Structure 1
Amino acid sequence: MRIRIQASDLPGRICGPGHDMPGYGNVHVGVQRRDRRDEILDLQPGDVPSAVWTLECVTVPSENGVDIKGPHIQGRPGGRFVYLSWGTVDGNGGFEMFRRAKLMLDALDPGVLDAAMRSGVLLARLGLTDAKGQPLCAAVRPPAITWSAAPD
């Protein structure tokens, strides 16, 4: 199975100071690899109209139903999630993370997961700007994200 994340409403390449942020420039976002905080898949500038990431994963039976595993799936069984990492990119292409959003897989409806296993794709759709106009962070569950099955 694959997880396809379709993101829209990115906050911009410059996030000014305010609320709980000091402000950042040349902001980018990507998917963090499990146990490798500095390995980010497909960095996207914070000012693109939309971004899409596709993650390879496998589903395995577990005592709680179905467990999802893969190189970009974080957490323990029953508490799995995907990190979208926000950071700045310097002139040499170096990425320095300042915030993350956790796309919580434990919020999946079992029927949606079953349908996604049959279709081959679990689709996540979400906006990436929070209510304060900053990069989305913290645990992300419905209604801030919608999960559905999609054709492969």
Structure 2
Amino acid sequence: MLMRIHATDLPGRVCPGDSGFPGYDNVHVGVQRRDRREDIMGLHPGDAPSALWIIECEARGGPAGVDIRGPHIQGRPGARFVYLAWGAVDGIGHFTGFRRAKLMLDAVDPEIAEAALRSGTLRARLGLTDAKGHPLCAAVRPPAITWSAG
């Protein structure tokens, strides 16, 4: 199965500081590999008009529903998710993460998950700027994300 994550409304390359948050420059976002926090796939600058990630995964149907696994899928069965990692990129291209958005797969409607299993594609659409104008973080569930199949 392919998972296509399409993001819009990126917050910009500068993430200003506020109380308890230092702020960052040259902000980028990408998909974090499981068990390798420093391995980020598909970095996009924070001021891009949109971002698209296509993740190859393995999906299986079963009595508990569709289980999606793969190198970029985190968590245990029933609590799987994809991390979008936010970080600052320095002058030599080194990524230093400072925030993550957790796209919760248990929030995918079971009928959509089954349709995605049949079609071979699960799609996600979301905006990446939070209410403060910062990079979106924490657990992301509908209505902040829209899941569809095909």
How does the TM-score come out when normalised to structure 1?
Answer: 0.95
Task: Supply the RMSD in Å over aligned alpha carbons.
Answer: 1.0
Q: Distance in 1 between matches of 2:149 and 2:61?
A: 19
User: Structure 2 matches for 1:131-146, cutoff 5 A?
Assistant: 131-146=131-146
Runs of 4+ in 1 over 3 A off after TM superposition: none
Q: Distance in 2 between matches of 1:19 and 1:108?
A: 34
Provide the aligned length of Structure 1 versus Structure 2: 150
Residue in structure 2 matched with residue 100 of structure 1 by the alignment: 100
- Structure 1 residue ranges without an equivalent (≥5): none
**Cα 1:110/1:20, change in 2 over 3 Å:** farther
* Percent of aligned positions that are identical: 69
SS of aligned partner of 2:72: coil
Residue in structure 2 matched with residue 91 of structure 1 by the alignment: 91
Deviations 1:86-141 (A, max 9, x none): 00001110000000000000001010011111211100000000011000000000
**Cα 1:113/1:6, change in 2 over 3 Å:** same
SS of aligned partner of 1:4: strand
Q: Distance in 2 between matches of 1:19 and 1:6?
A: 31
Q: Distance in 1 between matches of 2:109 and 2:63?
A: 16
Residue 61 of structure 1, CA deviation: 3.5
Residue 18 of structure 1, CA deviation: 2.0
User: Structure 2 matches for 1:57-96, cutoff 5 A?
Assistant: 57-96=57-96
How does the TM-score come out when normalised to structure 2?
Answer: 0.97
Residue 40 of structure 1, CA deviation: 0.2
- The answer to whether 1:128 aligns with 2:128 is yes
- Structure 2 residue ranges without an equivalent (≥5): none
Q: Distance in 1 between matches of 2:15 and 2:59?
A: 37
Residue in structure 2 matched with residue 11 of structure 1 by the alignment: 11
Deviations 1:26-45 (A, max 9, x none): 00000000100000001000
Residue 144 of structure 1, CA deviation: 0.2
